[in-house]
Structures are given as structure tokens and as C-alpha cells.
A and B are shown apart, each in its own frame.
Chain A
Amino acid sequence: MKQTKYLMNPGRLSRQDHTLKFTPVDEAGNEGQPRFLPVEQVSDLYVFGSLDANSALYNFLGKEGIAVHFFDYYEHYTGSFMPREYLLAGKMQVEQTKHYTFPKKRIVLARAFVEGAATNILRVLKYYDNRKTGSLADAIATIEQLMASIPLVPDVPTLMGIEGNIRQIYYRCFDAILGETFCLDGRSKRPPQNELNAMISLGNMLCYSACLGMIYHTQLNPTISYLHEPGARRYSLALDMAEIFKPILIDRLIFRMVNKRQLQPSDFRMEVEGCLMKESARKRFVQEFDASLKETIKHRSLGRSVSYKHLIKLECYKLQRHLLGIDAYKPFKAWW
């Protein structure tokens, strides 16, 4: 399987001999030893450091179908270079739009996304409830109640309300799971106000980009979404998809890293605008994220091992089958 490459350090990426060459450049402008990235093995690039590149490179990346995702200094997702769509399917597009415009069809999909997200949230909570001997039982009960009302909601805004409530209760559990080292103190974004918020923001962005990267390799159009309102400049279908995978991919990763003390308060820096993760910690976090994407599970219905990354793609395929009327879409629910 092709790999994601992460460019954490400043440097220059160029095209040479029909492959990619990365030359690290330090602050003084001195070039280091270049490294060649085998272009045939690259699926996409995540750029965190500052990167020099020219149009020849982007032409080449476009031809090879390699997407580039950019993150700014504050670890926000700033945008992507998406190569020309290579899997075009008019029929898919028409069906996708139809499912958005007919409220009856749209709500079915929107419900599925929320249901999937809530189930996975519960799965995470129940695991930690076991370990912390029942301290999360109240939250679990409330979320279960809220979940029961999902099939009855009449429209998407109400559904978003329920989703918001679930998430609020969920985030309140974070403090109980993580102990004293970090506290959440309410979710804050743009910019995150404390360490935990910084972790969640970075994690969610990574999850969003991973989903976008997988959607790109299917016939789906990433701009038409069902739970989130399709915006003007956003790949909102990736947001829908990320909802399902955030609890299992990101939140578990955060809990694991904090509880194992792989992340300490000293790994963060408070600035006027908000809280930032230090470079070394960010690298560790992204490294762990990449490792968890590569981790495999035994898929129940496929009967073989699949990685979490592939799981996201399978989710896209299921959505496609729903849109084409082959199978009803059932969201991915973690069973472990």
C-alpha cells in the first residue's frame, strides 16, 4: 500500500529524474543532504514545515495523483492541492446530488453518520468506564438516551443539535479519563486555548485530511455532504466521514498518549493567541497517528485484515452503494 509522507522540516521539494527530491534547508539557508522519495510509493503528502516548491513539481504531482495537504503554524488545516479528479462518474455525481436535495433521502444518511459517531463514542467511553470503575455511567446513559431519539428527528438542524449535545457530554468525560495532567475546560477552537484542545484540533485535522485523501480515490465528490451543510470552499463530505472515525482514531490516540505520559505539559507552549504543540511533540503525535492508520483489524464481513486507513475507504464504498441504491448505508461501528 502506498504511504503518506509527512514533511515536518523546512525544505525544498522538487521533481528530478521523474521522482521526488526533498532537500532540507536550515534557517541559515544551507541545504542539507537531499533525499529521494520513491514517487510510486507515495499516496499523499502532509506539509507541516515550510516548503519550497515550483509549478513543475505540482504538475508532476497532479499527473501522479498525489494530493498535498497543508497545515499552518498553528496546526490548522489550511487547504489541499488536489490533483484533477481521475475517477469521474457522472451517474455517481447525479445520485449524490439527488440524495442531498431530497430532504427525505438526506436525513437517512445524516442520521447514519450521527448514529455511527455516537456508537463509536460510546465504545470509547465504555472502555474507560470499565477501567475507571463506573465513573462514566451517567454520561453513557445520557448519550444512549440521546441516541434513541436519532431515528425520530425530522430534519438535519435538529439532528445537528443532538449531535452537538452528545459531543458536549462526551467532551465533559475527557477530564475523568485523563486525570490531572491535562484538563479540557470546554472545547475551544481557532485557536485552541489549552493543551488538550490543541491536541484535539490537530488530531481532528489529521482525521479530516485522511478522510479527504480516501474520498479522492473513490468516485464520490467531496464537496456534497449530508450531515454538514455543503459550503462554498470546503470538502464537507470529509467532515461527515471524519465524524465516524474521530472517536476511534483520534480520541483514543490522545488518551493513550497522555495516559502513557508520551505527552507532557512541557510539550506545549502558550502564546498570546492560544496554545501550541512544540515541534518535537507534534512530530511524535503525527507519528503515532500514522502508526494507528496502518494498524490492522480483522474485518468481520470481509474475513481478512484491513488497516484503519482502508476502513475509511471501505466506508466510502458503502456510501457509494447506498447512493446507487444497491445497499442501505450502515455506518461503521467499532466492535472492540
Chain B
Amino acid sequence: MYIILVYDFGQKRVGKMLKLCRRYLNWIQNSVFEGEMTEVQLKEMLHEAKRIMNEEQDSLILFKNRDQKWMDKQIVGIERQSTDDFL
């Protein structure tokens, strides 16, 4: 499944969340990640995210897509970071 993840965390916790997301998804912009992941990996990540976040103050939003091919990505301005497999 292809995921776009955005979060808005309090300053104290935002760094932890960034590190967690980097393990699973590609960073594309501040507080925005995208990438392919499995159901289990998502569960794993959400479980850890819930331990970091303060559910009264922080928010985490997921956009799920069955496949990347159903998603069109358009970039206006600069691309902060590409996500391809060739470095």
C-alpha cells in the first residue's frame, strides 16, 4: 500500500517522530513522508508513533492508496527530495 503521512507534533516530540518516520518512509518535505509499506509495517509504526505522541495535542494523518500507480504526483517549485531508488 502506498502512503502519504503528515504530522503536526509539539516541538518536544517532533524530532522523535521524524526519526521514526525516516525508518519506514521517504521524507519529502517538513513533516511529510511518502512511500510503500505493508499493513504490518504500518501497524508497527503506528504503535510506536502512539508511544511518542500526546494524543490530546498532536495529530497524525495518513492518506492510503492501494498502489502508487493510482496516484499522480505533481511538484510545483523545487523538489525538496526525490524518492527514487537510484542515488
Instruction: Give A21-32 as 1s and 0s: 1 = Cβ < 8 Å from B's Cβ atoms.
Output: 010100000000
Tell me if A35 and B86 are in contact (CB < 8 A). no
Tell me if A8 and B87 are in contact (CB < 8 A). yes
Tell me if A17 and B22 are in contact (CB < 8 A). yes
For residue A286, which residues in chain B have a CB less than 8 angstroms away from its CB? Answer: 86
Q: Is A283 an interface position by the 8 A CB rule? A: yes
In the bound assembly, the distance between CA atoms of A161 and B67 in angstroms comes to 47
Q: Is A3 an interface position by the 8 A CB rule? A: yes
For residue A8, which residues in chain B have a CB less than 8 angstroms away from its CB? Answer: 86-87
For residue B23, which residues in chain A have a CB less than 8 angstroms away from its CB? Answer: 17-19, 38-40
Would A35 and B87 be within 8 Å (CB), given that A18-B19, A40-B23, A40-B24 are in contact? yes
**Chief secondary structure at chain B's binding surface:** mixed
For residue B35, which residues in chain A have a CB less than 8 angstroms away from its CB? Answer: 38, 41
Instruction: Give B11-50 as 1s and 0s: 1 = Cβ < 8 Å from A's Cβ atoms.
Output: 0000000010011111100000001110001000000000
Interface size on A, residues (CB 8 A): 26
In the bound assembly, the distance between CA atoms of A19 and B21 in angstroms comes to 10
- Min CB gap A287→B, angstroms: 6
Tell me if A4 and B87 are in contact (CB < 8 A). no
Tell me if A41 and B22 are in contact (CB < 8 A). no
In the bound assembly, the distance between CA atoms of A7 and B84 in angstroms comes to 11
Q: Report, nearest first, the 5 A-B pairs whose CB atoms are least far apart.
A: A17-B19, A36-B22, A19-B23, A6-B86, A40-B24
- Excluding A18-B19, A38-B25, 20 further A-B contacts by CB distance (< 8 Å) are A4-B85, A5-B85, A6-B86, A8-B86, A8-B87, A11-B87, A19-B19, A19-B22, A19-B23, A33-B81, A35-B81, A35-B87, A36-B22, A38-B23, A38-B24, A40-B37, A41-B24, A41-B25, A286-B86, A287-B86
**Contacts from B to A (Cβ < 8 Å):** 19, 22-27, 35-37, 41, 81, 85-87
**Contacts from A to B (Cβ < 8 Å):** 1, 3-9, 11, 17-19, 22, 24, 33, 35-41, 283, 286-287, 290
List, sorted by A's number, 28 A–B pairs whose CB atoms are closer than 8 Å.
Answer: A1-B36, A3-B85, A4-B85, A5-B86, A5-B87, A8-B86, A11-B87, A17-B22, A17-B23, A18-B19, A18-B23, A19-B19, A19-B22, A22-B87, A24-B87, A33-B81, A35-B87, A37-B87, A38-B22, A38-B24, A39-B23, A40-B23, A40-B24, A40-B37, A40-B41, A41-B25, A286-B86, A287-B86
